[in-house]
Amino acid sequence: MKMDLAKRPDSIELRHLRNFVAAAEHGSFRKTGAALGRSQAAISRSIAHLEDQIGASLFQRHTWGVSLTYAGQRFLRRARLAIRTISEGADDVASVGRSENGLIRIGIYSSIASGFLAELLRAYGERHGGVRIELVDGNPAEHVAAIRQLNLDVAFITGTRDWPDCERTPLWSERIFVALPDHHHLAGRSELTWQNLIAEPFIVTEVAPGQEIHDHLIREIADLGRHIAVQIQSVGRDNLLSLVSLGQGLTLTSEAMTVTQFPGIVYRPITGEVLPFSAVWSPNNDNPAFRRFLSMAKVMAVRPASWTIEQSAEPSQIHDPLQ
């Protein structure tokens, strides 16, 4: 005999489960109907439909009400579990959709100690505290590859280059600084020019953003018709600055990174040199938490380019158009 697919147990409707649980709790179809704002007949038909789908009687009918059969007692626990699971799942998805929970994976290049990115993360965290933020260091090519595979939600990348299969929007700019020993003969100047730096040796890390700094140095000095010595060091940023303080060479850094004071190091801006930062993401990314993050970043980017804690607005003052 062919089974009627409409009566298979896996097609049970949630409303029938709710009616069943309510009837078990009230012990009466009439009281259940009154509690749910439905007629006694409607509750009776719903229970009968559920019993027909399951293939077992769930209630014994009495003149004074109803009581659970043995099958009904066994089914009650599972029905309550199913309702709770569906309800919790719906709440979880809804909270993700409202950006109350979720995860944003961010590829970074600059420091988050200060500046625009620090303010953005702080403001978003205060508004959407349930969303977890993961930060990933790396070079632009690595970040973009991860974005295309949806392993990163967004990356903040220097420059104005457009990346295939990605969206990009410019957000903020930072001045470029030279890190040099505090005893260096150029340390007494308030600003430096590329002409001042032609004869100076430079060191960079082999990890991001070392390659970008290397390429920038070569390009700028080449424009002056000169060559510059750039040595690549297999160290992180802190140890690179230690080498700078020991007189092993100078290095470049963005404005946001200068907020971190390092013994024996001073920072001097290069006249007229500004480093633009853009957000890059995949148009296929439908992460709602990320979409609100991007919206907030665009709103904040309308404000002045130089961001400090004193200049930034409180999160309550920033209008999120998706709210």
Q: Give me the DSSP letters along 59-115.
A: EEE-SS-EEE-HHHHHHHHHHHHHHHHHHHHHHHHHHHHTTSSEEEEEEE-S-SSSH
What tokens were used for 122? 């702080």
CATH class of the 102-317 domain in this structure: alpha beta
What is the end-to-end Cα distance of the chain in Å, rounded?
A: 55
| Intervals of CATH 1.10.10.10 along the chain | 5-97
Average pLDDT, the chain: 82
Q: Which two tokens stand for residue 201?
A: 């040796």
Q: Is 285 helix (H, G, I), strand (E, B) or coil?
A: coil
Q: Enumerate long-range contacts of 316-322, CB under 8 Å, 24 or more apart.
A: 318/123, 320/127, 320/292, 320/295, 320/296, 321/295, 322/291, 322/292, 322/295
Span(s) in the chain for CATH 3.40.190.290: 102-317
C-alpha 229/C-alpha 95 separation (Å) is 54
Q: Is the pLDDT of residue 46 over 50?
A: yes
Architecture of domain 5-97: Orthogonal Bundle (1.10)
Specify the pLDDT at position 143. Answer: 92
Residue 181 has pLDDT above 90, yes or no: yes
pLDDT at residue 145, as a whole number: 94
- Judged by DSSP in three states, 179 sits in strand
Q: What is the pLDDT of residues 188-231, one digit of tens each?
A: 999 999 899 988 999 888 776 656 776 777 777 777 777 777 88
**Is 23:50 a contact under the CB 8 Å cutoff?**
no
CA dihedral 294, 296, 299, 304 (to 10 degrees): -100
Question: What residues does 167 pair with on adjacent strands?
Answer: 281
Spell out the residues 6+ positions from residue 82 whose beta carbon is closer than 8 angstroms to its own: 14, 17
Give the pLDDT band of residue 274 (cuts 50, 70, 90): confident
Q: E-strand spans in the chain? A: 59-61, 66-68, 102-108, 131-137, 154-158, 167-181, 202-205, 230-233, 251-254, 265-281
Q: How confident is the model at residue 257 (pLDDT cuts 50, 70, 90)?
A: confident
CB 102 within 8 A of CB 96: yes
What is the pairing mode between strands 131-137 and 102-108?
parallel
Q: Is the model more confident about 214 or about 24?
A: 24
Strands 230-233 and 202-205, how do they pair?
A: parallel
